Chains A and B, each alone.
Chain A
Amino acid sequence: MGNRLKRMVALGAAGVLGLSLAACGGDSNDNGNKGPGGNNGEPGEAGGTLTVLQHFPFESSDPNRIYYGVQLASWRRTLYRGLVAFPMSEDPAVANTPVADLATDTGTSSEGGKVWSFTLKDGVKWEDGSDITCEDVQYGASRSFANDVIIGGPTYLLNYVDVKDYPGPYKATPEQQQAFDEAVSCDGKTITFHFNKPWADFPQAIAGLMMADPYKESQDKGDGSKWTILSNGPYKIEGNKWDKNKGATLVRNDQYDPATDDPEQLRLALPDQINWEVNPSDTAGELFNDRLIQDGPKDQAAITWARLNPAQLSQISGPVEDRYLNVVSPYTDYLVLNHKTLTDPAVRKALAVSLNANGYIKATGGSTVAEPAETIINPGVSGSQDNPAFAEDNDNNGDPEAAKAILEEAGVKMPVKIKLAYQKSPTQDKAMAIIQQTWNESGFEVTLDGQGDTYYDVIAQPDKDIDVMWAGWGADWPSAMTVLPPLFDSRPNFSSTTCGNDYGCYESDEVNKLFDDAANAADVDTQVGILQEIDAKLGEDYAYIPLDNQKFNWLRGSKVTGFTTTPASSQYPEIGLIGVAK
């Protein structure tokens, strides 16, 4: 999450969070919503115009470059169908299992997960009326390799597809292209991916991300295609071009055939038109929710991706409360301990034992804004379970006496000086002061170090003098493979100038070996078991301390129907189910 998160946090109070497609268990909330995703508003009927109020700009409309979770989720329902997709279920167990979309099934694997095949359905078309072909999927996958042109999108395919030194379709020599075409091969309507190692959760990966979506080669102008859209979903863009700062109008795509789709599971596509209004102002999110609270005639058929801020939450009462959802988000915050400066395990353990997570959450806005986390793996990710190192005997208030006892027993001279870094904001200043206070009572002497926009670059430095760092993460798809290896596998993260996303410079041969085992697992269940083992080991080493799972607060206009969040929608409003009452 690091790179994106820092941009998001930079947007301040607008709270632009929407990177990953992590699924999330969510919870019930106080206003009587049921189900893990949260749901209010009855299912609607087709027709009408929905307004989507978006308070931040997307980074691209090119499927290979898209990485914002809310964009991936909502465009999967409206504009870009994939080989497979996550269903619109509120039950995480169902929602985390992909179903067929453009493909006839969810893929066939062989060679222990190293080969995956998908066959395209008949009758699936682009908005220009041409058929979606296997070659389109092959070309789409090849674009991921051109990360000198397609900058910013997910790069997982580069690590898995069994081809060496392939530079993408723009610069490839005929030999290089031939090698790629063999690694990702077409046979009629069947595309086969050959990987250099097992990829047990490949269907989940391409359901969540668009790195293996079809792309029509004749439409490709490299950088010039950054904002053009050729849809294959139930809607298309008027004018075919997304305006970064204005958005676009989505109208029905007459080349989309619901018979080739599974509307009940994947996209009801109820509104006839969607006015997608982007307003990148820092104040837009708050104003959008002000408008939804007022529920004026122009906003009654509107939803927003902007979360209600704590001040607005006090206005959620009476009839407004019927239009409100409070759900657990896919984003987990945690503290990273610098293993280069905090070399004594007793010190790390004492920090964990005396962490006042409840106080931190209260300072950030309370139980509608976050809940304590017991592991870095968000509850919506497959296999998430409380980490024993943090869950046992932990009321999340912090125990200064226990921490002092640990330090005394280890013979550590008190107070232990600690530098705690975080990305500065008025809220974080207050919240970190709470953590500081409890730690100071526990035998530590804590200095707060609020940082600016370059925060993640600073904490990635290997020789930093920071002891503890705040960080946040969301999974790319509901697998801990997109949480633990990116954050704690030292091998891809470390270089002479950076510790990468492994901000604590944590390095363990044992854990790295387990990462290899997880990566080579032939099936998801085996992989999940190994990842749970890794998480337990990370807890034993206090590589991190879980802090909180962020929560989302959503509001809708009074004429919006089927207002629900699902794991597949990253707990944003599920646009595939939403309709407009007449």
Chain B
Amino acid sequence: MWAYAARRVVIGILLLLALSLVTFILFFASPADQAKLACGKQCTQAQIAVTEKALGYDKPVYEQWAGFAKGVVAGRDFPIDQAQREAAPETVTHCAAPCLGFSKYYGETVNSLIKDYAPISISLAVVAVVLWLFFGVLLGIAAAVTKGSILDRGIVGLTLLVYAFPTFFIGVFFLKYVVVKWGLLDYPYYTPIAEGGVWGWLTNLWLPSLTLALVFLASYVRMTRAFVLESLGEDYIRTAKAKGLNSRAVLFKHGLRAALTPLVTMTGIDFGTLLGGAIITESVFAYPGLGLLTVQSSQAWDLPTVVGIVLIAGSFVVLMNIIVDIAYAFIDPRVRLG
């Protein structure tokens, strides 16, 4: 079992390294002149060359990537120009391992950026997961046990309708109407617990998390309904009923338990993806999480930040997949042999 887990971890690490290399290659395959963009409006070709060197973009892609990989393992000092580090030590920033790089665009290490931005994405993801799991599973069970009724059709129809709306539409609708036009809620600003307490943190997360949750909610309602219906049709449920168990015990003790297993797997993977940043929701609500950081750094052609985010977001997904794989291995011994 441990060998299986170790193998999955090693494959995950190799995958992340490959992911970072692909990001480097894609970045430089673009026709954009990143150094010219960074340098500014009136730069001469010579000044652009200086900027290119300062950003490290003058080196071959493999060399840049090797520098990055070295930083992940052993840490790095910035600026990368050794002459400048020696001449002006007050401008040196040390980035300890695992160093994801230094963003000239933001003026800080990518690790520090992620440390600042990740809590917002995590907060959004946690509240959204709670919302969609609670309401999604509840409505899914209600639809399953009332299969074919008006309630079932209403729930399924409504969730399909919500599912049809893109995230940005729901977010903008909330802001434009619920907040600005109808004035039902204050404009949401991310408020850390340290500043606004748990209540302040939660109330400001309500709208963006709901926006995020609504999209997932629809699929969780439908999946819960399907899984519950499937499990309720199993032989052991008929056996349980034949034993004289009441319908509540049959549903919650036997039917739902079996249906929840695939839901937990789904939740794990969705949660892992969301931890890497809810790009649209964070952009619509201007919540400075990893999603917004992704958008801003991509627009600014800020390679170190883009690579850092790709790696972090990838890590979350890989990690959740490893957990799921290992969990499956526990559940199904045949996987271990594979």
Contacts and interface: CB of A to CB of B under 8 A. Distances in A.
Interface of A: 1-4, 6-7, 10-11, 19, 57, 59-60, 67, 147-149, 151-156, 158-159, 169-172, 220-227, 244-246, 279-284, 286-287, 290-291, 294, 296, 453-454, 457-458, 460, 476, 486, 492, 495, 498, 500
Contact of B284 (A2, A10, A170, A282): A282
A223 B176 contact: no
Interface in B293-325: 296, 299-300
B239 interface: no
Contacts of B30: 454
B42 A283 contact: no
A222 B300 contact: no
A152 B39 contact: yes
A151 B57 CA distance: 14
Interface string B88-110: 10110100000000101111100
A153 B79 contact: no
7 contacts: A149-B54, A151-B39, A154-B41, A154-B42, A220-B90, A223-B108, A286-B176
Interface stretch (B12-20, B45-53, B138-146, B229-237): B45-53
Interface in B1-37: 30-33, 36-37
B283 interface: yes
Contacts of B104: 151, 223
A54 to B, nearest CB: 11
A148 B84 contact: yes
Given A147-B39, A148-B81, A149-B84, A291 B286 contact: no
B274 to A, nearest CB: 19
Given A60-B107, A147-B47, A296-B183, A222 B286 contact: no
A148 B58 CA distance: 13
Contact of B40 (A67, A172, A287, A296): A67
B91 A222 contact: yes
A148 B45 contact: no
Contacts of B88: 169-171, 222
Contacts of A11: 299
B175 interface: yes
A3 B40 contact: yes
Smallest CB-CB A-B distances: 7 pairs: A222-B91, A226-B107, A148-B54, A281-B286, A170-B88, A245-B288, A279-B286
Contacts of B189: 246
B83 A280 contact: no
Contact of A457 (B32, B51, B171): B32
B175 A283 contact: yes
A3 B36 contact: yes
B296 A280 contact: yes
Nearest to A170: B88
A453 B79 contact: no
B201 interface: no
A176 to B, nearest CB: 11
A3 B288 CA distance: 25
A346 B283 CA distance: 49
B299 A152 contact: no
B38 A222 contact: no
B181 interface: yes
A170 B40 contact: no
Contacts of B51: 147-148, 151
A171 B87 contact: yes
B283 A281 contact: yes
A149 B79 contact: yes
B91 A287 contact: no
A3 B54 contact: no
B84 A171 contact: yes
B220 interface: no
A279 B50 CA distance: 33
Contacts of B296: 57, 280
B53 to A, nearest CB: 7
Contacts of A287: 175-176, 180
A86 B45 CA distance: 31
Contacts of B91: 149, 170, 220-224
B3 to A, nearest CB: 45
B106 A244 contact: yes
A414 B272 CA distance: 60
B43 interface: yes
Contacts of B135: none
A498 B39 CA distance: 15
Nearest to B171: A283
A500 B42 CA distance: 10
Contacts of B38: 151-152
Contacts of B171: 283
Contact of A3 (B41, B55, B93, B283): B41
Nearest to B180: A290
A476 B40 CA distance: 12
A280 B286 contact: yes
A286 B176 CA distance: 9
Contacts of A59: 105
Given A3-B39, A4-B40, 11 more contacts: A1-B41, A3-B36, A147-B51, A149-B79, A151-B51, A155-B42, A170-B84, A226-B107, A279-B286, A283-B176, A498-B36
B54 A151 contact: yes
Contacts of A454: 30-32
A290 B299 contact: no
B137 interface: no
A204 to B, nearest CB: 15
Contact of A495 (B45, B183, B300): B45
B278 to A, nearest CB: 13
Contacts of B36: 3, 457, 498
A245 B40 CA distance: 21
Contacts of B65: none
B78 interface: yes
Given A148-B79, A287-B180, A246 B288 contact: yes
